[in-house]
Amino acid sequence: MVAVNHVSNSLGTVNPVGEIVRMAKGVGAFSLIDGAQWVAHGRTDVREIGCDFYVFSGHKLIAPMGIGVLYGKRTLLEKIPPYQGGGDMIKTVRFEGTEYAELPAKFEAGTPNVAGVAGLGAAIDYLNVLGLEKIGAYEQELLKYATRRMLEVEGLKIVGTAKEKSAGISFVISGLSTLDVGVRLDREGICVRVGHHCCMPVMERFGVTATARASFAFYNTFEEVDALVEGLKRIEARSQKPEASSIEYPVAVVIGVETAAEVVAEDFLLLDDREAKGAYVLELGEGLPRLWEMLKRVSPRVEGCMSEVYMVGRRRPGTRDVFEFVADADAEIVRGLIVVLQKIYSGQKASEIVAFDIEGFFGRIGLEQFITSQRRNGLAGMVKKIRELARRVLTENTEDTER
């Protein structure tokens, strides 16, 4: 089986699916085309493509969530057994044996998604009235205009520049985390997708950890492209902050990890909703000294973080077991989380750091409300690193005592 997407969701590349299908047939392989990123942007003819299977999800066609289509050649679908059981997918059921229903009922077990089916049909009718060829032509004009204008942004690089593209642009901006790009555009009312787009091998191929992606459809306008570009220019301008000339380890504001955590918790609990908490963390990140290049040269990347994070910790000179650390990251919200950890941990006794239930603290302040699961994984990676460094301080202290 050769399976390939009609359009790359991460790059926008329109793949030559007809040619790929012919190549697959040439070696005796079946073919499956994932058309989710294509079907709303141009005419689809499975006979012309020649594929054995074609699939897409309805919400890509402005239909409701939870509905989609599997097209398959009848001769193959008849050979494939049903993958689940339920009402209407059988002719007869006996202990001696079961006879399945004819196509397509064999694959439609249980109560159908009636509302989803109706919505999908209405969406297809609507797009056909607008004209898929007209939609595709308009979106290509948006793509050309956006490509030209986005290259005005200092440090912006487009990832994926195939000759045949759908109306989507993946990009990175030098020195900026794509997460920061997405969060800051969101605060201006502009929606883009950020991350690895479920395509980590593609990201590795292009030498990036993630991209931001602006996707355009028939309802977008040239004025919205202008708003996107101006927003990106403002974000890039704000990112130009000088690197600190030296490392200064933060001292404890209050003594005791538990007490410091209470102070931090009070700040968060005064904020009403996730938007306010997220904005607060971003503001904390803006105040963190930039040590990116310096730390990158002397420390390994913290494992488990989607963003690049570098950290250095030590026992404070002149003390027996006081731990302090500095860190920096390529994402502003992660930089804000670093400040939170510094407020709790830096300048405190290593034994208290190791024993403190930071996970319980995160639950108290509602951390899951304002950062993604991937950022929580990265935060866990930073906490693990801090605990490792604190344990090292304790070990050094024990060795000094024994000597």
Residues designated catalytic? 198
Find the Cα–Cα–Cα–Cα dihedral 108, 111, 112, 115, rounded to 10°.
-170
Instruction: Please report, in angstroms and rounded to a whole number, the separation of the first and last CA atoms in the chain.
Output: 67
Task: Determine the length of the chain.
Answer: 403
Cα separation, 12 vs 202, in Å, equals 12
Residue 100's H or E segment, with its range, is strand 97-100
Cα separation, 351 vs 364, in Å, equals 22
Please report, for residues 12, 132, 170, the alpha-carbon distance to residue 205 in angstroms, rounded to integers and kept in the order given: 15, 33, 14
Q: Are 325 and 342 in contact (CB under 8 A)?
A: yes
Nearest-CA neighbor of 5 among 78, 41, 26? 41
Q: Is the peptide bond before 104 cis (omega within 30 degrees of 0)?
A: yes
Cα separation, 41 vs 62, in Å, equals 12
Q: Are 315 and 393 in contact (CB under 8 A)?
A: yes
The DSSP symbol for 256 reads: S
The DSSP symbol for 92 reads: E
- Tally Cβ neighbours within 10 Å of residue 164: 10
Burial profile 87-122: b = 16 or more Cβ within 10 angstroms, e = fewer: eebbeeeeeeeeebbeeebbbbbeeebeebeebbee
β-sheet bridge partners, residue 170: 159, 213
The pairing of beta strand 31-34 with beta strand 53-57: parallel
- Token representation of residue 329: 């990251």
